Amino acid sequence: MELWGTFRRGNKAAASDSDSYVKKFFESTPVEDAWKLDAQTEALKQFVNDSIAAGRRVALVTSGSATVPLNSDSVMDAVSFGDRGAATAEQFLRAGYAVIFLSRQGSLAPFSRHFQAYIRDNSFMSMLHVQPDKSLFVKSRDTSQRDHIASVLQAAKETRENVFHLCFSTVQQYLFYLQAATKAVDAAGTRAMIVLAASVLEYYVPSSSSSTGVPSSSTPADTAAKDKESSSSLSLNLIRVPNLIRKIRQEYAPKSFLVTLKSAADKNQIYNVAFEELEKWGVDAVLADSPALPGEMALVSESESTRVSLKADTTTHMELDTLCAASLVEMHGVFAARRTFLAQGRQLLLLTAKFSMMKANDAVNEDADGHKNVPFATGVRIRVDRGQAHNSPVYELSAVFQNQSHCARAHLWTRVVAPDAVAEDSASTLLTENQIVLAFSPAGTADTIKSMWGDFWGGFADKEFADVKEQWGHVTMGSAIYGLASGVTATLGGDFSSVHGMIKYLGSKLGAAWTDGEQTRIRQALQNMLSVNFNRGLTE
């Protein structure tokens, strides 16, 4: 049974992530006064705005399990203590994030989760001591235990103002809070990260005061038969829980770095389920695990697939969830810097296309400082958008590459950031280190491009192609595309013949490969290829 399936209304099927289904849920489900939804929504917005003003990235982490009330006395529960969500939120706080922690009431929380282990083995009570004045202090004979408690308490104190705790109980409350929280973090744009680690059951029971307009899983005949049964029997009207992932991706927080969790029963399918999640919802990363692989997780994005595991010989104790969260912090940093660069560099690339036609003795109409008719040469500075005046990013031409016939060029631009800007915005350190544009500007025809790139795009002898095809005929598309990425990287400045053949062979298969996770593998390989500096035929 699919977790997020469809329900039927008449002869039509509507997905549980569709706009109409989600809208119907929020319109028909009553909001309880105890939720204080309006007040919490305003508090969330204020927390996010304050965090943005302080220069912090913002993370929303959901954790724990949402209950499904059956009646006034009974509930169904997915039973999750929130270990992963709490550890993830804690690592984000240590990394300097402002964190909205949306968790089940009573589940584990950042920092305080460490004391659960001491409580479970009954050692916590022996560590607490009462002074004559009734004050409490913690004392432990174990030095490592004492140091661990001290470091946890210190970190909790230092990050206390950077966390917003929001607790839920039922699945209805969770979904309303999730909608409000994701809309709030949208203000942070690409500096926001959302990690959906909460456990949600597949179905819920609508309250008696709500009307979903969706028929239950029982037919009229079944209902009539059940009416004749004893009043001691329990009849449930089960409705699929709305899936908000698509709404978050496309509407609530479209610029955020969105992460979901997925589990695979078969350890050999761990990457396939992650690829499917990426392609189905358009999320930025997937954390995938399997019960058959304890101590290991796969972290998959469009650009990379990484297996995270604990090393048995390490001298430093590190939790798997903490390692994964640290990897997410790094990925989010790259994601935010890349999106910022693309937004600011679009006009720069257009200008570069214009400059590609300029010769050494030509002049720029106006440089970044307002000087007129400045010679176009290394060292010249331009503003991406002169209409923004001093608010426009400034780039400096660091180098000009060209082929032997001087008909194709590549310009290397470096972002210029003022020292005071670096001090004001901690994120600027990423930009000053990494914001470089290498813009290729072939002047005109396909022959020019071919000349610029040497024989990379050229044809090859039939015999060479036949040999490669025979060698790779048994290789799956997924394996071949990974080989392509590593092969290109390994042959820089060397023999490209094997890569040539692989490209032609793979090209014959691309049309039939756009299914079952191959989309992600192809995108990963292409991004890896584009990240490599191919400078054949170019001289400075």
Condensed to tens digits (0 to 9), the pLDDT of residues 268-310 reads 899 989 988 988 888 999 999 999 988 899 999 887 888 888 7
More confident residue, 324 or 311: 324
- Cβ atoms of 21 and 15 closer than 8 Å: yes
CA–CA separation, 130 vs 134, rounded Å? 6
C-alpha 312: how far from chain center: 28
Residue 363, beta-bridge partner list: 375
Which is more confident, 434 or 501? 501
**Token digits of residue 143:** 């030095």
Yes or no: say if 212 and 25 are a contact pair by the CB < 8 Å rule: yes
Q: Give residues with Cβ within 8 angstroms of 9, minimum separation 6.
A: 213, 214, 215
pLDDT at position 501 is 57
Going along the chain from its start, the domains and CATH numbers come out as 6-219+236-255 (3.40.50.10300), 346-441 (no CATH), 462-530 (no CATH)
CA nearest 533: which of 357, 394, 412?
412
532 pLDDT higher than 50: no
Tokens of 277: 């999640």
What angle is formed at CA 359 by the lines to CA 447 and CA 536, rounded to 5 degrees? 40
* CA neighbours closer than 13 Å in the CB half-sphere of residue 35: 19
- The pLDDT-based confidence of 50 (bands split at 50, 70, 90) is very high
Query: What are the tens digits of pLDDT across the range 420-476?
Result: 544 444 444 444 444 666 665 544 444 444 444 333 333 333 444 445 445 545 544
| Residue whose entry in the numeric block shows the structure tokens 């005109």 | 444
Q: Which amino acid is at 200?
A: V
Q: How many CB atoms lie within 10 A of CB 408?
A: 24
**Cα distance between residue 196 and residue 261, in whole Å:** 7
